């Protein structure tokens, strides 16, 4: 069973729908026992970094996420769910992230002719052999919606990047933790393949 963590963040249902299309048994839940007994756990989300951290704390889910990581359960953060895994964000200065991975979330710099938020399809550049990208062609296009981007401290965990006014770390993998800034559930066949790779870990 795959548990999608429910903390009132946007985009949860589209992730659920994509997993159901892959024939997976999916539960959208904030229940600690359900999450800790899942085979895989996903933290999706769109919205504000600060609001999301507040909800994770208030719902008792911050500590549950630490338990998931400690139990070595495969864990996937998507979009805001990826950003929350890191230490801090320009979006809400002074608010600490989960700090499971080292790095920070920065505002995408303004560049003439390019709109922020970054909304649309961008190609990925792969670095090393990311497990999420097994069987994909080089430089596939995926769908992004974000105004803030990841700058990971540990370059070796970055498995995909993209360019949009700056160099963006688009996906990371470390031990049982996987994360992507883009939305695999909105990225057509490429995105479904990425989700399939995750559920088959």
Of the residues 79, 91, 146, 180, which is catalytic? 79
The 10 Å CB-count burial string (b at 16+, else e) for 156-170 is ebbbbbbebbeebbb
Give the predicted TM-score (pTM) of the model.
0.97
Domain that holds residue 128: 2-199
Cα-Cα-Cα-Cα dihedral sign, residues 191, 192, 198, 201: negative
Distances (CA, A) of 19 to 48, 84, 89, 154: 24, 22, 29, 30
Share of the chain above pLDDT 70, in %: 100
What's the pLDDT at 173?
98
Q: Average model confidence (pLDDT) for the chain?
A: 96
β-strand partners of 41: 3, 75
Annotated catalytic residue 180:
no
Q: Fill in the DSSP letter of residue 168.
A: E
The string of pLDDT tens digits covering residues 134-177 is: 999 999 999 999 999 999 999 999 999 999 999 999 999 999 99
* Known catalytic residue at 183: yes
Catalytic residue, chosen from 16, 155, 183, 200, is 183
> What is the C-alpha separation between 179 and 64, in angstroms, rounded?
17
User: Among candidates 102, 85, 80, 81, which has minimal Cα distance to 148?
Assistant: 80
Q: How far apart are CA 64 and CA 70, in angstroms?
A: 10
For position 45, what pLDDT does the model report? 87
What pLDDT, in 10s, does the model give residues 80-134? Answer: 999 999 999 999 999 999 999 999 999 999 888 889 999 999 999 999 999 999 9
Looking at residues 33-43, what average pLDDT do you find?
Answer: 98
| CATH number, residue 96 | 3.40.50.880
pLDDT score for 66: 98
Q: Which residue has the higher pLDDT, 113 or 57?
A: 57
Kindly indicate the confidence band of residue 9, based on its pLDDT and cuts at 50, 70 and 90. confident
Which residues neighbour 159 within 8 Å (Cβ) at sequence distance 6 or greater? 126, 127, 128, 129, 130, 131, 132, 133, 171, 172, 173
**Domain total in the chain:** 1
- Which of 155, 169, 185, 200 is catalytic? The answer is 185
For this structure, is 118 an active site residue?
Answer: no
């Amino acid at each position: 069973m795959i548990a999608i963590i429910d903390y009132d963040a946007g985009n949860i249902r589209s992730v659920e729908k994509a997993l159901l299309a892959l024939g997976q048994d999916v539960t959208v839940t904030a229940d600690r026992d359900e999450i800790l007994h899942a085979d895989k756990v996903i933290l999706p989300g769109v919205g504000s970094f600060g609001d999301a951290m507040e909800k994770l704390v208030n719902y008792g889910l911050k500590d549950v996420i630490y338990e998931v990581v400690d139990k070595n359960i495969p864990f996937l953060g998507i979009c805001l769910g990826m950003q929350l895994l890191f230490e801090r964000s320009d979006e809400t200065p002074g608010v600490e992230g989960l700090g499971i991975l080292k790095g920070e979330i920065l505002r995408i710099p303004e560049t003439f002719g390019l709109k922020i938020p970054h909304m649309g399809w961008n190609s990925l550049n792969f670095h090393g052999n990311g497990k999420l990208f097994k069987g994909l062609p080089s430089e596939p296009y995926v769908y992004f919606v974000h105004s803030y981007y990841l700058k990971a401290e540990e370059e070796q965990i970055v498995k995909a990047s993209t360019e949009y006014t700056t160099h963006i770390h688009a996906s990371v993998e470390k031990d049982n933790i996987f994360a992507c800034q883009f939305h695999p559930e909105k990225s057509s066949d490429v995105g479904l393949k990425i989700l399939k790779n995750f559920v088959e870990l």
